[in-house]
Structure 1
Amino acid sequence: MLRRQNPNLDPMSFLSGPSEMAQRIREFDWTGHPFGPPETWPQSLRSALAIALNSTFPTAIYWGSDLRLLYNDAWSSIPGPRHPGCLGERAEDVWYDIWHVIEPQFTELIVSGTGIFLEDQLLPMKRYRFEEETYWTYNFSPIRGEDGAIEGVFNSGMETTAKVLEGRQSSFLLGLSDSLRGATGTDDLGMIVCGALGKYLGAIRVGIREVQRAKSPGYRTLAEWTATDIDPVGDQFAMENIGPVALPLAAGKVGQIIDTSEVSEPTTREAFHSAGTGSLLAVPWMKDHRLEASLFIHRANAGRWSDADIALTEQVLERFLHEIEQQRSLEREQIMASEIDHRARNLLGVVRALVNQNSADDVPSYKAKLLDRLAGLSNTHSLLAGNRWSVVSLDDVLRNELSPYLSSDTPQATLEGPAVELSPDMAQAIAMVVHELATNAMKYGALTGVTGKLDVAWEVSHDEILRIKWQERTVDAGRTLRELDSSGFGTNLLVQIIERQLGGEFSRGLDTDGFKCEIVIDLRRDAGIPEEREVPNCPENGQGRTRIFIVEDDPIISMDLVDTVEAMGYEVVGTAGSVKAGLSQLAKVTPDLAVVDINLGKETSEAIAKHLVLRGIPFLQLTGYEFDATAGSVFDGRPRLMKPISEDSLAEELRKL
């Protein structure tokens, strides 16, 4: 087989071939070099170099007492920018950064005369200005001269940094997963992730920031970990505004500063210096082509961020955001379940109150009235549920109640007004008002026959005052004053909702056309915070009855509570549906007992409860939530009833107080 080789050979054939390094060695000026001209090189060097130059595996030869360097094309990338200047140079000069590692290995080989194999050896090279963590698997083999003495070292090997880091990072991610399983909430998740990543990467500071677009746009720090004796930067250090970081982040790319002392802007450079930050990495998280979050890492020293560091950080950020989204989803489900339970219990409380408050001369009339009001509640509930309990338009609320009179070819009702958005609480309250008015119109007014007309118009002033005008037009406008009597439940309900719950004004009357009314409401006001009921002007324990104060934000339930406790023999000295109204009332009166709803719209009644405790006034708490976050609060350990409230349970608990 070897006979087939080209017979045209000469002593310099060991440097033949088209490779870059063969050409460089041929063209190198060896005059004055310890090796001398290649024509004089010993056969042992020629043979070893020929093997190296014709190998596709990274191979180098360290020759002579100074271990001077010769190498092939595959090895030329290993020294980085030191190539090609390292050709023929001493190993100690070429590898000054790792000489403390490889010099003992050369010594061992020369002393023992046997080769050395090293697997995944750490070699902290500084090829590109900054120290890199690199790993290599390689061997050193002795090259013996013609007299049998070791004249050089044959070296072949390859970098294994990626493999080593991948294995280490896999272990890190497995450990992180174990830690995340024990997280108790979103804050704990963030601290676990930032702390683990910071320690793994040798950082001084790691944080996760989330983009906020609602209300006050900007960035919010979700979590930040710092090494010992390092101060956090929080939201004050706006790295997203720093050019080298902001521009890549906005484009969905990694931003990094390898040396903060070289930042051109003086204020920013000083801020980094004050924070003890030598280098910085910022990794973005994009959603729908928009920046949603970023993870930042600070190191004390300047230095490059490896591809492995960046890839790991991206993985960790993705895992964190996945975990936090799961946590938030679970929290949303829990809140939703709690809200559904709360709304259901409150609705049952309203139904119970309607059953109690409804009155009629006979059972069929009672049944008809009750079913009508329950149907109205159901329609409103469906409308709000269809809008996911978010804002609802006034037009939708009116159409929902008056649809039978709007859809025919000759509609009996007309609606006219600008677009007005209502909160769920306000929409529900206005729907109940419209239902009562429509019911009365069907019984006594314009909607009793086909000839009557109903016009509903509304307007909103510049200061968000809503004015609704209800005008009925009938052929027979003989509605009697008895029908406008203010003592009925329907009328009381209208007054309670409009004036107390909505804090508005309600006026009504008869003109030549028929019944009319006007409702004025401040849209800036929260419908879930009713106005206070006027305190009767009566002396302390004027009639010897136990005096009771009621805090409840739903007007129907409040009305029913008043009637129920008065029927039990208590004297109601005031009601309130908000903390402000409750504290204002309690400044004027000293009740013997109180019934307090824990949740009042968007606030809790804790301030009222504390006030009662300070004054030594016992109270019974009411709630529509199955589980209230009241542990450790003033409510903890005190008597409580769940809505809907049983009269027997209410009587028993009040008796105990």
Structure 2
Amino acid sequence: MRAHDWSASPLGAPETWPAPLGTVVGLMLGSAFPMFAAWGPSLGYLYNDAYSVMLGARHPDALGRPFRDVWPEIWDEILPFIERAMRGEATYQEDLPLRMLRKGFEEDTWWTFSYSPIRDVDGTVKGMFCACVETTEAVRSSSELASLNVDLERQVLERSHELKHLWDTSPDLLLVIDFEGVFRKVNPAWTTLLGYAPEELVGRHVSEFVLPEDDALTRDAYELAAGGGLPVVENRYRHKDGSIRWISWVAAPNGGLTYATGRDVTARVSAQAELAAAQDALRHSQKMEAVGQLTGGVAHDFNNLLTVIKSSTDLLKRPGLSDERRTRYVGAISDTVDRAAKLTSQLLAFARRQSLKPEVFDANESVRALGDMMGTLTGSRIRIETRLSDRTCFLNADPSQFDTALVNMAVNARDAMDGEGTLTIAVRTAERMPAVRAHPSVVGSFVAVSVIDTGIGIPSDRIAHIFEPFFTTKEVGQGTGLGLSQVFGFAKQSGGEVTVESVVGEGTTFTLYLPRVDGAARRVDEAEPAPLVDGHGTCVLVVEDNADVGTFAVQTLTDLGYVTVLANNAEEALAELARDADRFDVVFSDIVMPGMSGIDLAHHIRENHHDLPVLLASGYSHVLAKNGTYGFELLHKPYSVEDLSRLLRKVATWQRRRRILGDGRA
């Protein structure tokens, strides 16, 4: 510690002070930290070296001088403490730190002081002792904390103002609702969007404002929130003026309440409804256009066929007709009927209403057999190539319709090549059916049969229409436009698909995808019986609601030697069977009839007269198209006398064999 020059001190050197005053002051002032100071009766300034931090360059000059001269700027603040100490009271200045300018540094500092009187042995106050500690960092930290608190309070206040502004100005509905569905708080947007003032809503149940049809949906939403869920719902609210508004809600629970935001989506819902209506109208228009095109095509083709039939029948009526001409006209009528039957069959195939007879067969074998005769169909200038799979490719499909589909694709390819080029038929297995016509790709086991030509190709704007009935790019009279429609319908009804790839000027590839099945022995049909020219008294119950067809069938069978009984509907047939079922050998019934259908009648006969065979006939039945023949023999209309006789003999012979075997077992 630096030695003090006490000669300038009004108190003199400490050793001259009365004991113990001199000892105490000497010890305290000799300490380096904290800063200590002492004053005599005249408040002369004595201090230790630690005060140099405060005094700076004035440190040597301040010694012994009155405190007021050294720190005039804080004299008024410190005087009350000095006076109290000189009166004999110890005082502290801790709660309110003193701000002082650090000498020579031009910066504010903060200090805490304690003042104690210095007494002589007789108790007389001779001076004052002061201990001083700098608290600048503590004051600054406290100030920063206070400033931070003020800033946080300001931010909270600003956020509160923002939230209130958002609540008051939001164009969306804001709602606080309890878990029972009672409104607790609403924002002003409810008045703007739905016409209700807040006091008309708060405390009332949501069901009072939601349409009854949406009440259950709304109840599910706030019950979901009660369970901690996050409901998203659209429901309809009734405006105060009676109109309806669609509101889309998102909500989240917090505590015992749900906070929800609702947006008016009435315009969007209305636009969607208008769009759906427009799409329905467009689909209806397209459907009517398609029906018009279909009807026009059917009328055109059938009128042509009817013209041939009408002309032939008129010519047959002429007297003195030679046998050769009569045979020719009858043949023309027969051929035309076959063409008409083929036309309806193709239409039903496109519509997926053709009754199929699926069997398990190998596509390789069918293509090989067709390839051998395809040259006759396409002509000598078209080279036929077949590429068969080295794996078995079993299908469960109608083999006749499969062959027809390949023939139709081959004819289309022939015409596209103008009779000259290369036609390739390729068979392979595939592990997926590609996405086509808005349908996604299907993974599975398939057989893909491709028909590839080197023709003119199909423009991209026409590919979407090539499977439509009567759509054709050929010249008038060069085709009906039904061939590819049959391919499309057969593929769809068989659980498959048909795709087309084409490059104009290079060629086209049609690929038929059908589900692949495990190989199984193909059923070997029994030898078909020869047509029965003489019915030999076989008794047939004919069930037909069309009077002309029923009369013709009865006459035909009678001419062939059958004994017939005609029933005009299934109810009459059941009455005949109830009277005496044993007199009948066969029931020959139409399928589509008013009341009980022919299929229902056949099932009834199977259950109650299991030894009586049934032969069904139909020009079209959606039930057969969907479910098959249920194991009954089927005769397609229009049918020939030979077909009718053949199938009648087949079912009668089969039943007769069952009866013989049954008798033998008995």
Q: TM-score, normalised by structure 2?
A: 0.22
Larger Rg: 2
Q: TM-score, normalised by structure 1?
A: 0.22
